[in-house]
């Protein structure tokens, strides 16, 4: 065909020529944007002008064609933040989050001649289309899939691993019609220009001007070029389900002619230009990684991350003062003055990047300033012993060691598993339910480089919460890859297989922050049983994230909430955001779960993750999933970095734990496609045990010592029964009284993620604990999957937890916990009266009982003669009733938490007390008002100085032991009058 007229080289008005070599590399990355008015782009001398040229200039959702031909491309999912300025060269940073639709006309298809020049960085994920000519997205090997020519910068397919893959496809009958160009190698360091030239029936592929592959074919470009408005795409595959591109692209050109090899070399950006662009991107990417927890290079107080590779380019580091900042990024905290240091990185292709940093001299006060303790706690306190900012040594003292322990000076780390980062300090002994909260002052004493300082914190230790017997179960789960929200369900009673949705079947929690997706919720009941914690994966596949990017660039956060009723959830960190628990080199943070560690007196949170060699995530080896663990006491602060918990060289995910006797039992998914050592089946569940929860696992072994690591007990546990691959295992101890519980019952659940969600096995604790290689639990005759039914509808990887009746009712009503009814009964033993208060749910009762007594049955004496208020202990309150009181009733007054309703007893009648008068009774002295004096009360009276044992016991309760009423006073006067009359009669008779 005719070539387009050649255009002279030109620069855009008012702009520095984009491909000019930068003299210096300054600053980090900045956003770039230009107006819609675009001049004709420059063409290399002797090279035909391109029919479309995208130098990554953009305006809004438009990728500008700078050829002057007006063939602007349309951006989908890409924003201003997707573009970077690298020393004057615009770069489009595809992050599997968007693509560009190319308009028709750049290549016509009137013959087989065309050229595509594509400049891309080495840091590109495998099996992504860099560009494609053609349209029609569809499944592989179907007519829906359009004919096309494509180029993938890096492949992971057989025969093309880490090499460029390019192919042409025209479907023919039952044949897919795809013909691939031979593999010719991978990308060069930094930016590489890949040029494909079609000339007649030959395709030729060049890498930086050098031919690396050629293909002869019999297909016609006219069968490929679409007739619609879209010619093809940048960053998008036509294969349905393929991920979007993850790579940096700096320049793309199209010609409707076949360039010669000389024109290919002349047209592409020069090596110096690509080197400058690479170096500029490197600087920005290195800076983003190296800061770590530091706010700026001028304010360095903690270790820096000096990556060995970025964007696929190796880096070698040097330091002007290694004693202050080492070549591995370790920052000294022993300097006495702020110190400047120059760090230099030399790239694999020879460019030099320097960073001037200032290391701030440490202060001991900074470590104390970083300590945050809850003002009121229900958990052990995280009394850190190493400063978070400067690494000061911190020890703690306590104003009440019996309430909160101080740092244990004699603490030694265990030989196996994680060490206690609090060294015995911060262990809380909560007051009993009903005893009330108590305050304690803990003081941190910090020492650093001879400097000393201290800081005191006053904390209220909460009394134990009310507990009650478990009466049912709750569940939390998500539904599908397109419905990543948290749903909940509850049983109708104390039968595990009676679940139904709550909250009207609507989501309980929907994420609007982080990735905006919530998966794999797990609910853990607190060690004291009066609170629930929920953790979840921060991942949204339905938002367009592919499974590849989800594992290579996934969230480093977990989402965390707490609740007392499973209805009202609040974030533990007080923010509408997750909490970062993973390290920069990690690829994802999946399926977090937690369990209480008796030895460490802390919660262990564990999750699956890939681990790269550094934060740049550029290596492709050792990228199997493995399990990591962190510690927490409050689900707000977590230890860092995560400890390796399970790393056998094979992929593992989805661990769940229960403790039976002295052993922790762990169910985990083998994520390998096949065998993983002795784990003979991939995509199924296996069982291990250990006496140390945090003991590391480096190999799967039937004969491992469970006192030092984890011993394999069973494998290939579910798929032979269910016929499906399984993940997300859960193990739940059945409640007493559950009809499914024969006495030691457990339910084991597996998520058949490809076939409707959870399936259940009913077993026992003894059966789990007795599993061995020669007698495996899953191979016994009673290991049978239960028929479907009774579980939440289509639940995906979730959690199941026992709950008391109050929580079960709250979930079904979708309200807060309501007070339960109570009954109060009285019994008497001589003058001791005992009230027993029973809550309807059989749970704890705290508060007070008010006893009320009367002296007789006449209308004149029925008014209350006596009352006393007594604390309830263990649901019981007792009092010794003063003499003269005939009938007594009791009222349970409730407690300040208003969780148990008030109730009253029936009356009890006490036996009469016979009073024998003195043969020669003395006159009863009276005060000026004619009333009996204090300390000499008659029957039915108790004065302030009396020694009645009942009154003495009441006095210790802080309540008034006696209420003197009008009726009691009248009775006393009648007794006095009777005594006076008797004396008078005797005197008359004796006179």
Q: Write the DSSP assignment of 766-816 as a string of letters.
A: HHHHT--SSS-GGGSTT--BPPS-SSPSS-EEEEEEEEEHHHHHHHHHTSP
Of residues 736 and 544, more confidence is placed in: 736
Does residue 10 surpass a pLDDT of 80?
Answer: no
At 469-526, the pLDDT tens digits run 999 999 999 999 999 999 999 999 999 999 999 999 999 999 999 999 999 999 999 9
**pLDDT of the residue at 546:** 83
Query: Could you give phi then psi for residue 646, rounded to 5 degrees?
Result: -135, 115
At 692-748, the pLDDT tens digits run 999 999 999 999 999 999 999 999 999 999 999 999 999 999 999 999 999 999 999
Does residue 581 surpass a pLDDT of 60?
Answer: yes
**pLDDT of the residue at 314:** 84
CB contact burial 725-745 (16+ within 10 A = b; e otherwise): bbbbbbbbbbbeebebbeeeb
Percentage with pLDDT > 70 across the chain: 86
Of residues 286 and 490, more confidence is placed in: 490
* Contact assessment for residue 474 and residue 492, using Cβ atoms and an 8 Å cutoff: no
**pLDDT of the residue at 985:** 39
Tell how strand 376-377 and strand 451-461 pair up.
parallel
Average of pLDDT values for 278-298? 88
Angle ∠(923,926,931) on CA atoms, nearest 5: 125
**pLDDT of the residue at 548:** 86
Average of pLDDT values for 387-409? 96
* Contact assessment for residue 249 and residue 122, using Cβ atoms and an 8 Å cutoff: no
**pLDDT of the residue at 36:** 43
Does residue 619 surpass a pLDDT of 90?
Answer: no
3-state secondary structure string, 300-348?
ECCCCCCCCEECCEEEEEEECCCCCECCCCCECCCCCCCEEEEEEEEEC
Q: How confident is the model at residue 15 (pLDDT cuts 50, 70, 90)?
A: very low
Least reliable range by pLDDT among 70-84, 143-157, 212-226, 826-840: 143-157
**pLDDT of the residue at 990:** 41
Q: How confident is the model at residue 755 (pLDDT cuts 50, 70, 90)?
A: confident
**pLDDT of the residue at 947:** 35
Average of pLDDT values for 243-265? 95
**pLDDT of the residue at 310:** 79
Place of tokens 């460019």: 351
**pLDDT of the residue at 125:** 61
At 861-871, the pLDDT tens digits run 555 689 999 99
Average of pLDDT values for 742-771? 94
Average of pLDDT values for 454-476? 98
Query: Could you give phi then psi for residue 829, rounded to 5 degrees?
Result: -130, 100
Of residues 87 and 940, more confidence is placed in: 87
CB contact burial 312-338 (16+ within 10 A = b; e otherwise): bbebebebeeeebbbeebebbbebeee
Q: How confident is the model at residue 858 (pLDDT cuts 50, 70, 90)?
A: low
Of residues 850 and 955, more confidence is placed in: 850
With 0-12 / 13-18 / 19 or more C-beta atoms within 10 angstroms meaning exposed / middle / buried, residue 523 is: buried
Average of pLDDT values for 634-657? 97
- CA gap 276, 259 in Å, rounded: 26
Average of pLDDT values for 22-27? 30
């Amino acid at each position: 065909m005719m070539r387009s007229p050649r255009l002279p080289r030109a620069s855009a008005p008012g702009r520095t020529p984009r491909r000019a070599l930068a003299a210096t590399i300054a600053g980090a990355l900045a956003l770039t944007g230009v107006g819609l008015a675009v001049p004709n782009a420059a063409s290399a001398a002797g090279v035909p002008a391109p029919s479309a040229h995208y130098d990554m200039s953009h305006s809004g959702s438009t990728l500008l064609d700078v050829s002057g031909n007006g063939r602007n491309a349309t951006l989908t999912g890409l924003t201003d933040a997707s573009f970077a300025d690298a020393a004057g060269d615009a770069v489009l940073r595809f992050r599997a989050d968007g693509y560009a639709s190319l308009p028709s006309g750049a290549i016509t298809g009137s013959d087989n001649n065309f050229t595509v020049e594509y400049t891309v960085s080495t840091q590109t994920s495998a099996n992504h289309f860099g560009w494609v000519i053609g349209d029609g997205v569809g499944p592989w090997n179907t007519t829906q899939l359009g004919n096309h020519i494509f180029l993938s910068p890096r492949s992971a397919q057989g025969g093309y691993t880490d090499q460029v893959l390019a192919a042409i496809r025209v479907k023919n009958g039952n044949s897919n019609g795809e013909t691939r160009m031979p593999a010719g190698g991978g990308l060069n360091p930094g930016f590489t220009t890949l040029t494909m030239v079609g000339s007649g029936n030959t395709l030729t592929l060049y890498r930086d001007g050098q031919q690396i592959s050629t293909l002869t074919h019999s297909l016609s470009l006219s069968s490929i070029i679409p007739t619609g408005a879209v010619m093809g795409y940048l960053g998008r595959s036509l294969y349905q389900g393929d991920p979007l591109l993850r790579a940096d692209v700096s320049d793309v050109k199209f010609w409707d002619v076949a360039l010669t090899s000389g024109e290919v070399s002349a047209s592409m950006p020069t090596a110096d230009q690509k080197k400058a662009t690479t170096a500029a991107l490197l600087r920005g990417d290195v800076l983003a990684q190296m800061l770590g927890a530091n706010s700026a290079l001028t304010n360095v107080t903690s270790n820096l991350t000096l990556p060995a590779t970025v964007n696929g380019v190796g880096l070698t580091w040097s330091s002007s003062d290694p004693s202050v900042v080492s070549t591995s990024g370790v920052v000294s905290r022993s300097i006495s003055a702020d110190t400047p240091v120059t760090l230099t990185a030399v790239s694999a292709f020879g460019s030099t990047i320097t960073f001037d940093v200032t290391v701030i001299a440490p202060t001991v006060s900074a470590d104390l300033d970083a300590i945050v303790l809850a003002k009121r706690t229900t958990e052990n306190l995280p009394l850190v012993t190493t400063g978070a900012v400067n690494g000061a040594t911190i020890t703690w003292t306590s104003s009440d060691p019996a309430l909160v322990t101080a740092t244990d000076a004699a603490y030694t780390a265990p030989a196996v598993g994680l060490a206690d980062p609090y060294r015995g300090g911060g262990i809380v002994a909560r007051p009993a339910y009903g005893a009330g909260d108590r305050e304690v002052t803990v003081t941190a004493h910090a020492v650093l480089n001879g400097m000393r300082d201290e800081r005191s914190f006053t904390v209220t230790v909460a009394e134990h919460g009310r507990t009650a017997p478990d009466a049912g179960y709750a569940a939390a789960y998500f539904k599908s890859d397109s419905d990543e929200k948290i749903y909940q369900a509850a049983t109708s009673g104390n039968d595990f297989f009676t679940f139904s949705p709550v909250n009207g079947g609507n989501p309980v929690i929907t994420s609007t922050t982080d990735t905006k997706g919530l998966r794999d919720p797990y609910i853990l009941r607190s060690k004291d049983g009066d609170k629930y914690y929920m953790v979840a994966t921060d991942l949204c596949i339905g938002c367009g994230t592919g499974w590849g990017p989800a594992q290579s660039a996934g969230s480093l956060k977990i989402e965390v909430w707490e609740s007392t009723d499973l209805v009202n959830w609040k974030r533990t960190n007080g923010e509408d955001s997750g909490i970062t628990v993973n390290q920069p080199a990690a690829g994802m943070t999946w399926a977090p779960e937690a369990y209480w560690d008796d030895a460490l007196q802390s919660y262990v949170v564990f999750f699956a993750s890939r681990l790269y060699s550094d934060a740049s995530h550029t290596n492709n080896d050792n990228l199997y999933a493995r399990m990591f663990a962190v510690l927490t006491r409050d689900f707000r602060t977590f230890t860092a970095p995560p400890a390796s918990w399970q790393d056998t060289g094979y992929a593992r995910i989805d661990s769940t734990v229960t403790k039976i006797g002295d052993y922790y039992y762990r169910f985990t998914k083998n994520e390998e496609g096949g065998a993983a050592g002795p784990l003979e089946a991939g995509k199924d569940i296996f069982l291990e045990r250990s006496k140390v929860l945090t003991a590391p696992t480096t190999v799967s072994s039937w004969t491992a010592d469970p006192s030092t690591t984890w011993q394999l007990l069973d494998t290939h546990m579910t798929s032979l029964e269910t016929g499906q691959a399984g993940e997300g295992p859960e193990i739940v101890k059945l409640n007493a009284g559950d009809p499914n519980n024969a006495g030691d019952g457990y339910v084991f659940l597996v998520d058949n993620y490809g076939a409707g969600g959870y399936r259940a096995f009913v077993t026992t604790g003894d059966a789990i604990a007795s599993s061995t290689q020669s007698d495996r639990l899953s191979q016994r005759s009673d290991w049978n999957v239960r028929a479907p039914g009774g579980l939440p509808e289509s639940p995906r990887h979730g959690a199941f937890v026992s709950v008391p009746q109050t929580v079960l009712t709250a979930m079904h009503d979708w309200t807060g916990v309501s007070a339960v009814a109570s009954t109060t009964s009285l019994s008497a033993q001589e003058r001791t009266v005992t009230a027993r208060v029973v809550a309807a749910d059989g749970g704890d009762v705290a508060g007070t009982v008010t006893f009320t007594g009367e002296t007789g049955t006449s209308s004149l004496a029925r008014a209350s003669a006596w009352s006393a208020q007594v604390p309830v202990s263990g649901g019981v309150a007792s009092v010794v009733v003063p003499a003269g009181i005939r009938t007594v009733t009791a009222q349970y007054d409730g407690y300040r938490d208003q969780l148990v309703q008030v109730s009253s007893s029936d009356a009890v009648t006490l036996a009469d007390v016979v009073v024998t008068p003195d043969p020669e009774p003395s006159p009863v002295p009276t005060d000026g008002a004619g009333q009996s004096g204090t300390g000499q009360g008659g029957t039915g009276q108790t004065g302030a100085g009396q020694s009645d044992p009942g009154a003495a016991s009441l006095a210790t309760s802080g309540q008034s032991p006696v209420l003197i009423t009008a009726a009691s006073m009248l009775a006393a006067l009648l007794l006095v009058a009777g005594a006076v009359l008797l004396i008078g009669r005797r005197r008359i008779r004796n006179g």
